[in-house]
Amino acid sequence: MGEDVERLKRRTPLLDYLRQHNWAGRPAGHSEFVGLCPLHKESQPSFYVNARKGVFYCHGCGQGGDLIRFVQLSRGLSFRQSLASLDPEITPEADSSAVLEEAAAFYQQQLDRCPEALDYLHRRGVHDPALIRELGIGYAPGGTLRRYLMALGHSFDVLRRRGLINAHGADALYQRIVFPLRQGEHIVNLYGRSLGSAFAHRFLPGSKGGLYAWEKVCNCAEVILVEGLFDYVALRQAGFHNVTCSLGTQLNREQFRQLCEGERTVYLTFDVDQNQSGQQAAEQLAHRLVVHGISARRVLLPEGHDPNSFFVQGGDPHQFQSLLEAAQP
């Protein structure tokens, strides 16, 4: 046990831990830092950290000790609980995946209870209840996730580490439509699309994973690639099943590798926006795919459109089919 504790403390230096929890300390001499005490209310800094020794002492409340002691005091945990909350081997990746599953399920339940979220989906042309269920689309009203997940036995630290909440315990995804992103069986991230226009969308920290719903299309000889999940939904509703989504115009290594495995034609259907960024990205990607022996075609939507707006504003499957047929290498 003693060895485990030492290993844990080496891996998570006290100062790093404090900073991850938003402690703002300033240097105060040789490997010392001083700032406001997180353990009691004060206006003058009296909380000292010795970064080299990994210990703290507060002249205000008289508390002091190492990382484990700090976690015990700040979170009201026992020594053993503090260890468990800090040690990734005691809270392994499986836990992180489980907590995402439960968060996604919670958000899914909220969707039907929030008319503003359903309104937004309808405005964006998302109307097929079976598809909404299949994709696990949900809604994060904000302010309720931590209580729900902690009642299920997840620790504050796991939620925090997974990025579901901020240091104050508030939901990271707030008033956002939520799409779970899966890789195989497991949810690897959540994508949140804001109902408002500020900070339109975000992912939780960490990888966005591979191509969206890739397992459904990986054997297709022709694949339509779109950049946004609302584009994906629009095409699925219009009856196109060989669709996948890269969640942005820049593919990560895994996504690019997926497109390149096996022989296929990829129809790049990125936004046609005024600044041309979607089309430039499509052109570069097409070139990279061709270099890797994959046939790539660029689908040219009408000016100012993405696949979602194309269908929302009255485009029909036949018209889109014609665009696919007219796609240029």
Residue 270 dihedral angles phi and psi, to the nearest 5°: -90, 170
Which of 8, 18, 58, 68 is the binder for Zn ion (CB under 5 A)?
Answer: 58
List the structure tokens of 255. 């996504």
Query: Cβ distance 63 to 73 under 8 Å?
Result: yes
Point out which span in 60-68, 110-118, 164-172, 269-277 binds Zn ion (CB under 5 A): 60-68
Single residue of 15, 18, 36, 37 touching Zn ion by CB under 5 A: 37
Nearest residue (CB) to Zn ion, 37 versus 149: 37
312 binds Zn ion (CB under 5 A): no
Nearer to Zn ion (CB atom), residue 56 or residue 203: 56
- Report in angstroms how near the CB of residue 57 gets to Zn ion at its nearest: 9
Applying CB under 5 A, the span of 55-63, 84-92, 104-112, 174-182 interacting with Zn ion comes to 55-63
Which residues touch 226 (CB under 8 Å, ≥6 apart)?
A: 232, 235, 243, 244, 245, 246, 269, 270, 306, 307
- What is the C-alpha separation between 97 and 12, in angstroms, rounded? 22
Q: Is residue 55 close enough to count as binding Zn ion by CB under 5 A?
A: no
* Least spacing, CB of residue 74 vs Zn ion, in Å: 10
Size of the site for Zn ion (CB under 5 A): 6
Roughly how many angstroms between the first and final C-alpha of the chain, as a whole number? 62
Find out whether 266 and 296 touch, Cβ atoms under 8 Å: yes
Report if residue 35 touches Zn ion, rule: CB under 5 A: no
Q: How far is the CB of 168 from Zn ion (least distance, A)?
A: 19
Task: Tell me if 60 contacts Zn ion by CB under 5 A.
Answer: yes
193 pairs with which residues across the strands? 177, 201
Binding of residue 99 to Zn ion (CB under 5 A): no
How far is residue 39 from each of residues 27, 87, 305, measured CA to CA in Å? 20, 22, 53
> Can you tell me which of 34, 55, 61, 105 binds Zn ion, judged by CB under 5 A?
61
Contact between 40 and Zn ion per CB under 5 A: yes
- Specify whether the CB–CB gap between 194 and 187 falls below 8 A: no
Contact positions vs Zn ion (CB under 5 A) = 37, 39-40, 58, 60-61
